[in-house]
């Protein structure tokens, strides 16, 4: 009940944030622009709209998770409201998890809103509901849950600017982890190669949540891959949250 109350309060605060609606506006613009882009491009127009739309959902959803997530804990510390919260019969893990689930709920509402507009744009071309799109949207949501946990982790011990940079780097490296593997093979043994290996093994492969090409091209995907990606997202998110709880528990706010 305490986690739920904090989550609901966090949701009410987040839903009023202007940054959220600014990003939502740009996401909608990109989704609508995909239709114009399809008209100007040679090829299957519907596939172009689907691809650009899903990319917009993923990118702007990640920006929402990062920009909102990095301030979850820092705002409470900066305003010193965290002192009045922690003196109440609330454990630190309840406070942190409440903040996390509140932002996840906010992202779910925003993602659903963008998805409805996205599906409406597709419907104008196909005159049918593309149910397979919900598979890609589901895994985008799993990715956003993971990115939110990372932003929350950095928020526990760093400033919003640095946390944003760290989280954005995490997002970019996670989607280009294949490049790290290539770099490890080419770089000579030394500090650089060791750093690349650490990043490769620690940073998750966010491409596990990327089914845009398969969904857009109607390629068959084995059910075990869906199961693996789902479990991968759940366990990695739980791991990052456990690290955040450990850091937050050890931090002194005096």
- Residues 162-173: pLDDT tens digits? 989 999 988 988
In sign, the C-alpha dihedral spanning 111, 236, 6, 156 is: negative
pLDDT of residue 30: 85
Neighbours of 182 (CB within 10 A): 11
pLDDT of residue 9: 87
- The closest alpha carbon to 46, from 140, 162, 111, 124, belongs to 124
What's the pLDDT tens digit per position in 48-107?
888 888 988 999 999 999 988 888 777 777 777 766 666 677 788 888 899 999 999 999
Taking the model in full, what pTM does it have? 0.87
Select the highest-mean-pLDDT range: 139-143, 182-186, 211-215: 139-143
Residues, the chain: 254
Residue spans of beta strands (DSSP E) within the chain = none
User: pLDDT class for 214, splitting at 50, 70, 90?
Assistant: confident
What is the residue-averaged pLDDT of the chain? 84
DSSP state of 188: P
pLDDT of residue 253: 59
In sign, the C-alpha dihedral spanning 225, 230, 232, 233 is: positive
| Percent of the chain whose pLDDT exceeds 90 | 29
93: which 2 tokens? 């893990």
Taking CA atoms, 5 is separated from 94, 98, 128, 170, 216, in Å, by: 10, 7, 40, 30, 40
d(CA 73, CA 68): 10
The pLDDT of residue 231 is above 70: yes
For the chain, the first-to-last Cα distance in angstroms comes to 27
């Amino acid at each position: 009940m305490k986690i739920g109350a904090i989550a609901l309060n966090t949701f009410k605060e987040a839903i009023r944030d202007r940054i959220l609606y600014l990003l939502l506006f740009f996401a909608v613009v990109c989704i609508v622009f995909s239709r114009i882009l399809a008209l100007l491009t040679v090829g299957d127009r519907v596939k172009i709209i689907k691809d650009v739309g899903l990319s917009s959902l993923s990118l702007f959803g990640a920006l929402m998770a990062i920009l909102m997530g990095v301030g979850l804990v820092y705002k409470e510390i900066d305003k010193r409201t965290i002192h009045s919260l922690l003196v109440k019969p609330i454990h630190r893990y309840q406070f942190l998890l409440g903040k996390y689930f509140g932002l996840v709920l906010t992202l779910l509402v925003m993602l659903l809103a963008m998805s409805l507009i996205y599906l409406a744009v597709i419907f104008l071309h196909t005159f049918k509901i593309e149910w397979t799109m919900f598979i890609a949207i589901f895994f985008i949501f799993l990715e956003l849950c993971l990115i939110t946990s990372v932003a929350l982790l950095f928020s526990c011990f760093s400033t919003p600017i640095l946390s944003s940079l760290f989280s954005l780097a995490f997002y970019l490296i996670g989607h280009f982890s294949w490049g790290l593997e290539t770099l490890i093979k080419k770089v000579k043994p030394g500090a650089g190669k060791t750093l690349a290996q650490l990043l490769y093994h620690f940073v998750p492969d966010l491409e596990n949540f990327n089914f845009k090409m398969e969904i857009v091209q109607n390629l068959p995907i084995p059910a075990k891959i869906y199961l693996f990606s789902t479990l991968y997202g759940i366990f990695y998110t739980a791991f990052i949250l456990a690290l955040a709880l450990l850091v937050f528990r050890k931090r002194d706010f005096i």
